Chain A
Amino acid sequence: MADIARRATAPVAFSALAWDDDLRHLSAAGRRVAVTARARLEREGQPLDGLRACDVDARDGTSLPGCVKAYIPPPLGDWGIVYKIARDPTDGRLFLDHLAFGRRHPGAGRRTGPSVYEVADRRLHDRREA
């Protein structure tokens, strides 16, 4: 119904294999950021005012249709989390399922590797890691 007040946060879910894979590729500092962010997201949900649609045709060549993202820390932190929008069929609740966590621009820091968008693109399109 249109007159229902819209909620300020959306529930977030994490799968163990993808999250552990993300952690393996992070520095110790990155893992601290990730673990802290996950704890907050599971406790409080993802604030909607920090949620942005992903690009279908991004300038880095990635394509993430049907995905949304948030920067960590908000509003323009160096880290990002990409979510796949999903629904729990048992109760109809919408969720933001963690698709990837990592650096937005890994070349800008000391550590190199794929960006969070490249990891998310690979997972969304089921492409093998390079």
Chain B
Amino acid sequence: MAHVTLAGDLAGDYVVSERREDGSLVLRPDTSAGSILAALGHEPATLEELEAEYGPVLPPDGEG
């Protein structure tokens, strides 16, 4: 799936969800985790790193 980055009145990362015969494109926001972190200028970190700095979090409860 093609990704595009818009700048101007609309800005941010988008995904091309449809290419029409007349050449027009249908875009939807790229809300993937990778795009979120990139937009914030962040890098992935781990639960172990979080717990080392802040202490243990509650365990998973099976819900999600």
User: Nearest CB to that of A5 among chain B residues?
Assistant: B55
- Complex CA gap A94/B48 in Å reads 12
User: Contact size class for B?
Assistant: 35 or more
- Complex CA gap A58/B63 in Å reads 6
| Partner of A15 from B36, B53, B57 at Cβ < 8 Å | B36
Q: Which of B11-56 contact A (CB under 8 A)?
A: 12-13, 17, 28-37, 39-47, 49-50, 53-55
User: Nearest CB to that of A55 among chain B residues?
Assistant: B60
B59: min CB distance to chain A, Å: 6
B63: min CB distance to chain A, Å: 6
Q: Is the CB of B36 within 8 A of A116?
A: no
| Given A6-B54, A16-B39, A94-B50, CB of A53 within 8 Å of CB of B60 | yes
Cβ of A84: which chain B residues have Cβ within 8 Å of it?
33, 36-37, 44
| Partner of B29 from A18, A48, A85 at Cβ < 8 Å | A18
A2: min CB distance to chain B, Å: 10
Q: Is the CB of A87 within 8 A of B62?
A: no
B8 interface hit (Cβ, 8 Å) = no
B29: min CB distance to chain A, Å: 4
A99 interface hit (Cβ, 8 Å) = yes
Q: Is the CB of A126 within 8 A of B34?
A: yes
Q: Is the CB of A87 within 8 A of B30?
A: no
A88 interface hit (Cβ, 8 Å) = yes
User: Nearest CB to that of A120 among chain B residues?
Assistant: B64
B7 interface hit (Cβ, 8 Å) = no
Cβ of B44: which chain A residues have Cβ within 8 Å of it?
66, 84-87
Q: Which residues of A contact B (CB under 8 A)?
A: 6-7, 10, 13, 15-18, 20-21, 48, 51-56, 58-60, 62, 64, 66, 68-69, 80, 82, 84-90, 94-95, 97-99, 104, 115-117, 120-121, 123-124, 126, 128-129
